[in-house]
A and B are shown apart, each in its own frame.
Chain A
């Protein structure tokens, strides 16, 4: 409020208003300016500050040459017409040229079209360089500020009046913005390559293969891979398996998917069996083509393909955050009519390797006939091996990885468990495969928001039993967790992480509901509204509240501050006269104004008393409350008569 008070006495010249606009729009661009250009801008600033007279043509020419020099130095060696950087480079060039032109114009100390237009151009250009939520807020601020400055210019530099006016405009528009935002028909289109985007960092973790000696899946990082918003509560951790890729081929020390020629055909939408759950995913750039869906996905995501292994891929590597809505049935088993080739692939193992494991497998194979009994015996066998879950395993014998893990080192993480389990299951005669992806942790959820992190990368096994693939959480067969691993896992639950999660949740909500609010979401909302009349009521109620709040704030800002007590009392009367078409002339005193009115409305003689009383208070110095009350009464009377 102190700031407003200070503004009360401030009247800025058009040039000062323009300079303020420049400062506001150039602030973010300062971050991308190269040093020579910064020096040039600084030079112009100093010139403007010290030289109060309009620059002559030699100075302008000098500035132009200096600008060119700065431009040359800034962009020297950067011109390579390759890749995506080209667009940004040209935009940068555009910004520089604009700065030079504006500098030349500004030094003449005249206002012209260039100068008036360029703040908006700068604003538009800055949108190309910054894609963050912060920038969005700053842009809203910039728009408000520019509006204010324009109004201030129209109001001959009166800052406080124009601030009030722009505030009123902003407030008036607010409910309409909300309503239009929610209901305005949206066109579905791929998000443009520029504009507001989330972070653009490449992530890794799940990469489609599985090395037993490397740490490909082992990225104990808290980086977010994807953010998931559920329509209902976040399911428990044992259901949060995000399917990434399927590995069939055992390559001694690593596993591979089926070779390209054997690739399973694409799936078409089947009728859904069971209770489905719907969720929205924001997948951050992975530079890979997989999109991750909860087991088992029942709907093919737009613009993606899903094969019979229920693995979804998009056509091009994901380089910008991707948003998709998915539907799954949370079940560990699902039907698959396996073709012979794939069946062969999922049963094959190298008989020359892992003799010990083979031996043990044969025992089980001979003991049980039914695959499900074999599987439970297998699990029991793993449980009895006293295996330890460790994120820091010892190196395995790469020729006999299963033997080495199960009988020798007995130390490993998901990869080793899954690999040995599948190897042994195949030896028992059960078709099986490895699934890699992410197993999210419910601890990383807040309300219906779930963050999936790098460290959630996981591998598990699927066994083909009775025409159904059955998920086996192989890691859970571990009988112990080593101390170091416990520490690493425990780090997940600190206070800082909880706070961080909440912040992420807020950011996620803004992104899903504002930045990426699409027609799909719009339809969902309408659908939801149809099913929930209470929601509609609540919505209407909140909208009305918003309108009410806006209205009151508007009133607060619009109400001309009664500079004089008497004027406040008179206001309803003056408003009424104004409504009737009597506008007080510039050189008209209140008395003359009333007289003029009474001349044409002789029946309104009550006004005469108001006039007298008003003059008595305002000129006669009679400010006693009795007289004030009397005036109030008279105004009322004149209004009713």
Chain B
């Protein structure tokens, strides 16, 4: 992937990279997802650093971190909170669940039942939840990192499509390359226990998010984007095409990625860089395995930016 992170963002990435060695690109994509105002689904085998990434990301961003470890016996109220009757005051009092946080790590989200998973639906889409008819607003920004183990694992429930669609991006972390791994094994880097310094103020975060939404998307690139969307829907090789929300996610993510590189306009390269992250969990090949690389190749060998 061709990209150069703008100097204002490199400290952020470097800070996290000390804990997640050799994964700059993954970190950058996660940051882009955050600035684009989306949620992130990390899908990989246990032990490659999903939780590490989430934890340090929250620390660097200075957001208050909440974590829910999903299990199969979990109920929606365990996440959202409950109205309980306070005898002292003689009224129902709402006890906030762990979701009331800015940075939520939904760990092993596919271990819980679909009913529980769906508790997150409204929260992720609207930034608020409704309990017993009362609307509770979640803090802003509200960022969810869901992690899930590969579907084949015992005791997992596949995420419903509606849930999947609410994650802006999804990617794996993968094994570190041999050089990085050597450093980790030597114990030189990758102290996952230590705490990262906060590098951004809430005002900075807000301005970055604003900037990401204001990045220019030229007509020519819109054409290209629409061609891609049309291809996912019309080529007939996917079970479903990209939804409108998916298309919006692709746009937002592309813009955010452009901002990370210090540009105020989107290029075809940006689109190429983020497409597989946005599409892998949304599209499914009718035949064969759906992988990020296959999606990338399938789309970009068929759809070419003419310019």
Give Cα A592 to B220, complex, Å: 17
Q: Is A548 part of the contact surface with B, judged by Cβ < 8 Å?
A: no
**A-contact bits for B70-113, CB 8 A (1 contact / 0 none):** 00000000000000000000000000000000000000000000
Asked if A564 meets B306 with Cβ closer than 8 Å, knowing A589-B269, A592-B269, A619-B268, the reply is yes
Chain B residues, Cβ within 8 Å of A619:
216, 218, 220-221, 265-268
Give Cα A200 to B265, complex, Å: 75
The answer to whether B218 touches A620, judged by C-beta atoms less than 8 angstroms apart, is yes
Docked complex: A588-619 residues within 8 A CB-CB of B: 589-592, 595, 615-616, 618-619
Q: Is A641 part of the contact surface with B, judged by Cβ < 8 Å?
A: no
Q: Is A52 part of the contact surface with B, judged by Cβ < 8 Å?
A: no
Q: For the complex of A and B, list the 7 residue pairs with the smallest distance between their C-beta atoms, beginning with the closest.
A: A587-B300, A620-B265, A589-B268, A619-B265, A619-B267, A586-B301, A619-B218
The answer to whether B216 touches A620, judged by C-beta atoms less than 8 angstroms apart, is yes
Docked complex: B245-266 residues within 8 A CB-CB of A: 263-266
Docked complex: A229-254 residues within 8 A CB-CB of B: none
Give Cα A619 to B297, complex, Å: 23
Chain A residues, Cβ within 8 Å of B265:
615-616, 619-621
Give Cα A124 to B233, complex, Å: 46
Q: What's the nearest-Cβ distance from chain A to residue B62, in Å?
A: 32
Give Cα A620 to B305, complex, Å: 16
Asked if A591 meets B267 with Cβ closer than 8 Å, knowing A567-B307, A586-B304, the reply is yes
Give Cα A586 to B300, complex, Å: 7
Give Cα A357 to B5, complex, Å: 125
Q: Is A566 part of the contact surface with B, judged by Cβ < 8 Å?
A: yes
Q: Is A563 part of the contact surface with B, judged by Cβ < 8 Å?
A: yes
The answer to whether A563 touches B300, judged by C-beta atoms less than 8 angstroms apart, is no
> B272 touches which one: A589, A595, A618 (CB < 8 A)?
A589
Chain A residues, Cβ within 8 Å of B219:
621
The answer to whether B264 touches A590, judged by C-beta atoms less than 8 angstroms apart, is no
Q: What's the nearest-Cβ distance from chain B to residue A92, in Å?
A: 47
Give Cα A564 to B266, complex, Å: 17
**A-contact bits for B211-223, CB 8 A (1 contact / 0 none):** 0000010111100
Q: What's the nearest-Cβ distance from chain A to residue B268, in Å?
A: 4
Docked complex: B263-283 residues within 8 A CB-CB of A: 263-269, 272
Q: Which residue of B lies closest to A611 (CB)?
A: B267
**A interface residue numbers (CB < 8 A to B):** 563-564, 566-567, 586-587, 589-592, 595, 615-616, 618-621
Give Cα A587 to B297, complex, Å: 8
Chain A residues, Cβ within 8 Å of B301:
586-587
Give Cα A220 to B117, complex, Å: 105
Asked if A564 meets B307 with Cβ closer than 8 Å, knowing A587-B300, A620-B264, the reply is yes
Chain B residues, Cβ within 8 Å of A567:
306-307
Chain A residues, Cβ within 8 Å of B302:
586
The answer to whether B306 touches A587, judged by C-beta atoms less than 8 angstroms apart, is no
Docked complex: B168-203 residues within 8 A CB-CB of A: none
Contacts A567-B306, A587-B296 known; 16 new A-B pairs at CB < 8 A: A563-B307, A564-B220, A566-B307, A587-B272, A587-B301, A589-B305, A590-B268, A591-B267, A591-B269, A615-B267, A618-B220, A619-B220, A619-B266, A619-B267, A620-B264, A620-B265
Chain A residues, Cβ within 8 Å of B268:
589-591, 619
Q: Is B161 part of the contact surface with A, judged by Cβ < 8 Å?
A: no
Q: Which residue of B lies closest to A585 (CB)?
A: B301
Q: Is B162 part of the contact surface with A, judged by Cβ < 8 Å?
A: no
Chain B residues, Cβ within 8 Å of A564:
220, 306-307
Q: What's the nearest-Cβ distance from chain A to residue B279, in Å?
A: 15
Chain A residues, Cβ within 8 Å of B272:
587, 589
Give Cα A586 to B306, complex, Å: 10
Q: Which residue of B lies closest to A595 (CB)?
A: B2
Q: What's the nearest-Cβ distance from chain A to residue B259, in Å?
A: 13
Q: What's the nearest-Cβ distance from chain B to residue A158, in Å?
A: 15
**B interface residue numbers (CB < 8 A to A):** 2, 216, 218-221, 263-269, 272, 296-297, 300-302, 304-307
Q: Which residue of B lies closest to A623 (CB)?
A: B218
Give Cα A444 to B264, complex, Å: 81
Asked if A563 meets B2 with Cβ closer than 8 Å, knowing A619-B268, A621-B265, the reply is no
Q: Which residue of A lies closest to B296 (CB)?
A: A587
Give Cα A598 to B265, complex, Å: 23
5 A-B contacts (beta carbon < 8 Å): A567-B306, A587-B272, A619-B266, A620-B216, A621-B218
Give Cα A618 to B267, complex, Å: 8
Chain A residues, Cβ within 8 Å of B221:
619
Give Cα A616 to B296, complex, Å: 25
Give Cα A616 to B300, complex, Å: 22
Q: Which residue of A lies closest to B1 (CB)?
A: A592
Q: What's the nearest-Cβ distance from chain A to residue B305, in Å?
A: 6
Give Cα A566 to B297, complex, Å: 27
Chain A residues, Cβ within 8 Å of B306:
563-564, 567
The answer to whether A591 touches B297, judged by C-beta atoms less than 8 angstroms apart, is no
Q: Quick one: which of A589, A615, A621 has the most chain B CB within 10 A?
A: A589
Chain A residues, Cβ within 8 Å of B300:
586-587
The answer to whether A621 touches B2, judged by C-beta atoms less than 8 angstroms apart, is no
Q: What's the nearest-Cβ distance from chain B to residue A551, in Å?
A: 27
Give Cα A259 to B266, complex, Å: 103
Q: Which residue of A lies closest to B219 (CB)?
A: A621
Q: Which residue of A lies closest to B304 (CB)?
A: A586
Q: Which residue of B lies closest to A564 (CB)?
A: B307
Chain B residues, Cβ within 8 Å of A566:
307
Give Cα A589 to B218, complex, Å: 15
Chain A residues, Cβ within 8 Å of B304:
586-587
Give Cα A563 to B220, complex, Å: 10
> B216 touches which one: A563, A590, A592, A621 (CB < 8 A)?
A621
Q: Which residue of A lies closest to B220 (CB)?
A: A618
Q: What's the nearest-Cβ distance from chain A to residue B299, in Å?
A: 8
Chain A residues, Cβ within 8 Å of B220:
564, 618-619
Give Cα A592 to B301, complex, Å: 14
Chain A residues, Cβ within 8 Å of B297:
587
Q: Which residue of A lies closest to B267 (CB)?
A: A619
Give Cα A620 to B263, complex, Å: 9
Chain A residues, Cβ within 8 Å of B267:
589, 591, 615, 619
Q: What's the nearest-Cβ distance from chain A to residue B185, in Å?
A: 32
Q: Which residue of B lies closest to A592 (CB)?
A: B2
Q: Which residue of B lies closest to A614 (CB)?
A: B307
Q: What's the nearest-Cβ distance from chain A to residue B304, in Å?
A: 6
Q: Which residue of B lies closest to A596 (CB)?
A: B2
Chain B residues, Cβ within 8 Å of A615:
265, 267
Chain B residues, Cβ within 8 Å of A587:
272, 296-297, 300-301, 304
Q: What's the nearest-Cβ distance from chain B to residue A394, in Å?
A: 89
Q: What's the nearest-Cβ distance from chain B to residue A605, in Å?
A: 16
Q: What's the nearest-Cβ distance from chain A to residue B227, in Å?
A: 13
Asked if A591 meets B266 with Cβ closer than 8 Å, knowing A563-B306, A618-B220, the reply is no
Give Cα A280 to B218, complex, Å: 70
Q: What's the nearest-Cβ distance from chain B to residue A452, in Å?
A: 64
Chain B residues, Cβ within 8 Å of A592:
2, 269
The answer to whether B307 touches A590, judged by C-beta atoms less than 8 angstroms apart, is yes
Q: What's the nearest-Cβ distance from chain A to residue B222, in Å?
A: 11
Give Cα A589 to B263, complex, Å: 17
Q: What's the nearest-Cβ distance from chain A to residue B3, in Å?
A: 10
Q: What's the nearest-Cβ distance from chain B to residue A149, in Å?
A: 26
Chain B residues, Cβ within 8 Å of A621:
216, 218-219, 265
Q: What's the nearest-Cβ distance from chain B to residue A246, in Å?
A: 81
Q: Which residue of B lies closest to A620 (CB)?
A: B265
Chain B residues, Cβ within 8 Å of A595:
2
Give Cα A620 to B219, complex, Å: 10
Chain A residues, Cβ within 8 Å of B296:
587
Q: What's the nearest-Cβ distance from chain A to residue B255, in Å?
A: 11
Q: What's the nearest-Cβ distance from chain B to residue A187, in Å?
A: 52
Give Cα A591 to B263, complex, Å: 14
Chain A residues, Cβ within 8 Å of B264:
620
Give Cα A615 to B268, complex, Å: 9
Give Cα A620 to B297, complex, Å: 26
